[in-house]
Amino acid sequence: MAEDPLERIERQERERKANGGLRTTLYILIALAVALAGVLGYMLYQRNNLVNQLEDEKAELATQMSELQNDFASLSSDYESINHQLDTSREQVALLIDKLSKTEATNRAKIRQYEKELGTLRTIMKGYIVQIDSLNTLNKRLTADAAQARREAEESRLRSEELSQQVEHLSSKVNSGKVLRARGISLQAMYNNDKPGDRHSRVRYMLANLSLVENSLADHGPVRVYVRVKDPEGILLMNNESTEFTCAGQTLQATASREVDYEGSEVDLSIYINDTGEFVKGIYSLEVYTEKSLLGTAECMLR
């Protein structure tokens, strides 16, 4: 049966409207898909930018840590306690570098924590530099002070030695000035009539004559003068009055001696040498001493 034209038109209109709604829905869906793709693309772009930024920050942080590690490596000290602290800080920097290398750049909490630790280690290193500089400055000052003290001590020692030499020289001059001296030393052969002569057969005794010269520096008081008379053979003449004495640490035999009171003025004295046996031809020698020095010598020839 043929379709009614009116119904056909209505059907066609309904189909047209239905097809138009589907196309509109399809267009809307396409528009939504495009918009969603754009949003997702923008979000992905933003995420990639953020990741790249975080990677750059991590790389910069790693560079700073490496520089700090080099700074610690170049830092040294002459003090054991500071060197021990430096070793500890170097280990901390190495550990921090290792932890950073194992941490994702996107872990911003850890990255920020490492930045703070890096800042703390930098502050510690600055403290070491100040401490080492201060100790080096102090050490230089102490070294300079020690060198100055050594120089002053050496100068003082030299001055002391010079003063000691001067004192020793003056003391030597004073001591030399205090030594008794004699003049007019002579040895005479005497006959029985107490007149001098030179015939050995007539000589009965000998006489040593001298004068202790004036010396205000010499010690005052009793002074014993010793004489040693030797015959031509070099044999010391001896008698019952002969005695021992010490001069300059040496013990000697004296033929005779005499004590006089010396008060700084000149003193003339004679010492008798008798009862020594017969005299013979030849040269007799005389030595005159005190306990401090040899005063002088003389000779006498008998024929």
In tens digits, the chain (303 residues) has pLDDT values of: 556 777 777 777 777 776 666 777 777 888 787 778 777 766 766 666 656 777 888 888 889 888 888 888 887 777 788 888 888 888 888 888 888 888 887 888 888 888 888 889 889 888 888 888 887 787 788 878 888 888 888 887 888 787 667 656 544 444 445 788 999 999 999 999 999 999 999 999 999 999 999 887 788 899 999 999 999 999 999 998 889 999 988 999 999 999 999 998 999 999 999 998 899 999 999 999 999 899 999 999 999
For residues 79 and 85, what is the distance between their CA atoms, to the nearest angstrom? 10
Write out 257-303 in H/E/C secondary structure: EEEEEECCCCEEEEEEECCCCCCCCEEEEEEEECCCCEEEEEEEEEC
Topology of 182-302 in CATH?
Immunoglobulin-like (2.60.40)
**Intra-chain end-to-end CA distance of the chain, in Å:** 211
Tell me, rounded to whole angstroms, the distance of Cα 147 from its chain centroid. 7
Amino acid making up residue 163: L
For residues 90 and 73, what is the distance between their CA atoms, to the nearest angstrom? 7
For residues 107 and 124, what is the distance between their CA atoms, to the nearest angstrom? 26
DSSP letter for 196, please. B
Q: What 3-state class would DSSP assign to 207?
A: strand
Give the pLDDT of residue 135. Answer: 79
Angle between helices 80-101 and 108-178 in degrees, nearest 10: 170
Q: Looking at the whole model, is its pTM more than 0.95?
A: no
Q: Is 117 exposed, middle or buried (0-12, 13-18, 19+ CB in 10 A)?
A: middle
For residues 180 and 261, what is the distance between their CA atoms, to the nearest angstrom? 13
Q: Are strands 243-247 and 250-254 parallel, antiparallel or unpaired?
A: antiparallel
Q: What share of the chain is helix, strand, coil (3-state, %, to 5)?
A: 55, 25, 25
Give the pLDDT of residue 256. Answer: 94
Both tokens of 228, joined, read 């040693």
Give the pLDDT of residue 217. Answer: 78
* Rg, C-alpha atoms of the chain: 63
DSSP letter for 234, please. S
